[in-house]
Amino acid sequence: MQRYDENAFPREVLEKEIKYLRLLADRFKNIQDASTEIINLEAILNLPKGTEHFLSDIHGEYDTFSHVLANASGVVRKKIDDVFGKTLRQKDKRFLATLIYYPEEKLDLVLKEEEDPDEWFVIILQRLIKVARAAASKYTRSKVRKAMPASFSYIIVELLNESGEDKEEYFDGIINTIIEINRAEPFIVAICRFIQHLLIDRLHIIGDIFDRGPYAEKVMDRLVNYHSVDIQWGNHDILWMGAASGNYALIANMIRISLRYRNLGTLEDAYGINLLPLATFAMKTYGNDTCDLFASGPETDGKDGEIVRQMHKAIAIIQFKLEGQVIQRNPHFHMDDRLLLDKVDVEKGTVRINGKDYNLLDKHFPTLDPKNPYALTAEEQEVMEKLGNSIKNSQRLQNHIEFLFLHGSMYLTFNANLLYHGCIPLDGKGNFAKFEIDGAQYSGKALCDNFDRVARKAYHHRFNRKYEKTADYLWYLWCGALSPLFGKTKMATFERYFVAEKETHTENRNPYYKLAYEEETFCDAILGEFGLSGKNSHIVNGHVPVKVRKGESPIKANGKLFVIDGGMSVPYQKVTGVSGYTLIYNSYGLVLVEHEHFDSKRQAVVEEKDIISKRIFIESKATRKRVKDTDIGKDLLAQITDLKMLLTAYRKGLIKERF
């Protein structure tokens, strides 16, 4: 063990740092305070690292997402098995796990049928305390206390630290008193939440919280209140972020997709977005149009369905016009191939794409001016202004978007792993592709950093038309060929609606998806670009659903890259064959958990039906990783160095101790 040598910090170094050390001395006022903190931090460095969970592409599937958090991707059940082994029957383990996932709901069911609730409380509280002890075992008492619900923190501390026969009566006395004063139910809820908290130390969301599924707002509420989370933006997140920043093209996209997937509840009920102006305009403009191409299933039949189809078509046409305006404002986007409205021949009912004429499946374009096809009509402009004002004034939506900016970014490097949603754009030769932002060319890490910068700038100046071109970069992030969040040559929305020929629907992927997925050298080059290297560094992606049904593996490039979009979103499950992935990085290594379909919360509570999860061990360490091996450990080591310098300053009389 290396001893602390105050001569390692000579006087001249301290004099350079004296201003900072005086600030540090306000917190650690004397040698005793500084020494105690050094001892505490050194002890923390030797604890096992906290468990990280990585999830991606939630797409509004709140019930599945919430269950995956509640059961910690199967870790709760594993912890119960570790604690009780063969001393508890499988059905009792199943019950205990369900209680931890859904304590309020399970308690309601149990207490309706239980003949002797007090006896049941004694048994179940003892079992929960054992699980809680196991979950808390690798953390400091300070960290464990912070995870405790304030109302029961003292009691939980006492119960967690109970040991030996001498304290058995004391322990039983606490439990009996909890039951006697009718606090058993809230205490059980509190201890179950406490267990959930401890089993996931940090949550990483690798993009795409919004769209497709019905409850993106509930997912956001859960994340806002989560104890430790970071988010790497996905293209569907940036869509909503850009809409909340006032980009009309993205507002139109956001509403079109909500209509396409019938997620109007998220817009209207959750966020209070008033769609009446759009509905009124659509019924007036497309009242004699069946809008059959804009049906989204049997639910769009009937009168209400007809209005939805009309709204769907109306906002789609508005979107194509607004996107054309963005492209014309920004020639450096190089997206002229996406300008299709000026190539529509209304009389012939055709559109020219790549020099070839195709018949249109829908030939009714009452708002299209052939002389100025990208101009909104006065009525369309009014609709967009009203929608924009409604979005601007939606406090819940703006709060959620602010959270995405505060806790999110284009990418994250954390504990030797590089996290981003889509790709790092490459050219055909595997070099980092260049793109122009604000007149300068960027690639690789610098490209991501500058996209991050302009996204924040656009939101800061939201709904200020002077910064319209800044907000246009958010639209490019949604669908541009060199967007790290999209990574395809085009988004063929117009063609998919209006042209039957599949050849026009093709959206070719960026070379990244072949080169980095298949060859470890390209992954190493990307990691190096972001300052990471070594065999323990990995890339974690979402965005592209893994076709497990067809034998595709989420583990790419000889284990250097993980694609963890396994289809939490129900529409994707027909492609993937599974219901999502969780990548778990604990002190023993990396584990990929593959989830099967989650039926419902009701079945989970009543029938104790859990998600069946298959664990795939990727990397296992013979020696457990400690906090000192992590990014947090590096920060703690830096703090220890500063505190040792403060000790030297005290001992040499450069700073006066206070008591």
Residue 518 inside a domain? The answer is no
Domain final position from 367, 392, 417: 392
pLDDT of residue 82: 94
With vertex at residue 410, the alpha carbon angle to CA 465 and CA 560, rounded to the nearest 5 degrees, is 160
Residue 1 inside a domain? The answer is no
| Co-location of 195 and 317 in the same domain | no
| Co-location of 89 and 200 in the same domain | yes
pTM of the model: 0.92
Tokens matching residue 348: 């012939």
Query: Is the CB of residue 473 less than 8 Å from the CB of residue 437?
Result: yes
Whose tokens are 């101009």? That residue is 375
DSSP, collapsed to helix, strand or coil, labels residue 418 as strand
CB within 8 Å of 348: residues ≥ 6 apart:
357
Q: Kindly list the distances between the CA atom of residue 216 and the CA atoms of 30, 371, 647, in Å, as whole numbers in the listed order.
A: 50, 40, 51
Q: Kindly list the distances between the CA atom of residue 247 and the CA atoms of 243, 322, 399, 473, 543, in Å, as whole numbers in the listed order.
A: 5, 9, 18, 10, 23
**How many whole angstroms separate alpha carbon 473 and alpha carbon 167?**
64
Domain final position from 392, 415, 430: 392
Residue 437 inside a domain? The answer is no
Share the mean pLDDT of the chain.
91
Nearest in space to 362 (alpha carbons), one of 286, 306, 300, 297: 286
Residue 440 inside a domain? The answer is no
pLDDT tens per residue, range 179-224? 999 999 999 999 999 999 999 999 999 999 999 989 999 999 999 9
* Total domains, the chain: 3
Q: What is the percentage of the chain residues whose pLDDT exceeds 90?
A: 73
Tokens matching residue 250: 């993205």
| Co-location of 92 and 151 in the same domain | yes
Please give the order of strands across the beta sheet that includes 411-414: 411-414, 417-420, 538-541, 561-563, 555-556
| Co-location of 238 and 361 in the same domain | yes
| Co-location of 256 and 339 in the same domain | yes
Considering Cα of 476, then 478, then 481, then 482, what sign does the dihedral take? positive
Average pLDDT per run of 10 along the chain, which is 659 residues long?
59 70 93 93 90 95 92 92 94 94 94 90 93 89 84 84 69 88 92 94 96 94 96 98 97 96 93 97 94 79 82 97 98 97 95 96 95 97 97 97 98 96 96 96 98 97 91 98 96 96 95 95 96 93 88 92 88 81 91 86 86 77 84 93 91 89
DSSP, collapsed to helix, strand or coil, labels residue 617 as strand
DSSP state of 355: T
**How many whole angstroms separate alpha carbon 358 and alpha carbon 65?**
43
| Co-location of 241 and 345 in the same domain | yes
Tell me the DSSP string of 180-234. Answer: HTT-HHHHHHHHHHHHHHHH-SEEEE-S--SSSSS-HHHHHHHHHT-SSEEEEPP
Q: Could you tell me the residue range of the domain that residue 33 belongs to? A: 6-47+629-651
Nearest in space to 244 (alpha carbons), one of 396, 469, 462, 467: 462
| Co-location of 134 and 195 in the same domain | yes
Residue 406 inside a domain? The answer is no
| Co-location of 142 and 202 in the same domain | yes
pLDDT of residue 303: 66
| Consecutive H or E run containing 562 | strand 561-563
Residue 398 inside a domain? The answer is no
Nearest in space to 286 (alpha carbons), one of 321, 322, 258, 314: 314
DSSP state of 610: P
Residue 426 inside a domain? The answer is no
| Co-location of 28 and 147 in the same domain | no
**How many whole angstroms separate alpha carbon 586 and alpha carbon 52?**
6
Residue 403 inside a domain? The answer is no
Cα Rg for the chain, rounded, in angstroms?
29
| Co-location of 124 and 262 in the same domain | no
DSSP state of 52: E
Query: Is the CB of residue 447 less than 8 Å from the CB of residue 487?
Result: no
| Consecutive H or E run containing 310 | helix 302-329
| Co-location of 116 and 199 in the same domain | yes
Domain final position from 334, 362, 392: 392
| Co-location of 273 and 386 in the same domain | yes
pLDDT of residue 158: 82
